[in-house]
Amino acid sequence: MAQYSAQLDGVFVALADPTRRAVVRRLGHGPTSVGDLAREFPMTLPSFMKHVRMLESNGLIRTVKSGRVRTCVLNRERLALVDDWLAEQRQIWEERTDRLEQFVTDPEENRQ
């Protein structure tokens, strides 16, 4: 459980930055070279590489170097951590709102 939590924390930290979210969104359309990705952002290449390393270290992307070109690929499986966590939270809150609705609408519940 602790490892799952640490992994999830890392993914959320990586996704907390708008530049990194934009990179993930762009890579959702397919693999792209670091140079092509960097052109879309108003920053130097070394600054952009910090974002790439953060995404890579948290498993959201993989990079592959071929000659002088480094290509980024989205790791969709890693995003499943977020999806699973959101599904758990959704279930918890739906159960709570269902109980609240039952309490509000059931006259016998209100008497106790």
Domain harbouring 43, CATH code? 1.10.10.10
Question: For residue 108, is pLDDT > 90?
Answer: no
Q: Which amino acid is at 108?
A: E
Q: What is the mean pLDDT of residues 64-72?
A: 95
Q: What are the backbone dihedrals phi and psi of residue 69, each rounded to the nearest 5 degrees, phi first?
A: -105, 125
Give the orientation angle of helix 45-57 with respect to helix 2-15, to 10 degrees. 160
- Average pLDDT (91-106) is 73
Whether the per-residue pLDDT at 109 is higher than 60: the answer is: no
Give pLDDT tens digits for 1-28.
666 677 888 999 999 999 999 999 999 9
Cβ atoms of 56 and 75 within 8 Å: the answer is no
Residue 59: count of CB within 10 angstroms of its CB: 16
Q: How many structural domains are present in the chain?
A: 1
Which tokens belong to 10? 């890392």
Name the residue with higher pLDDT: 8 or 102: 8
Quote the pLDDT of residue 6: 77
Is residue 68 pLDDT above 80, yes or no?
yes
Structural domain harbouring 19: 2-111
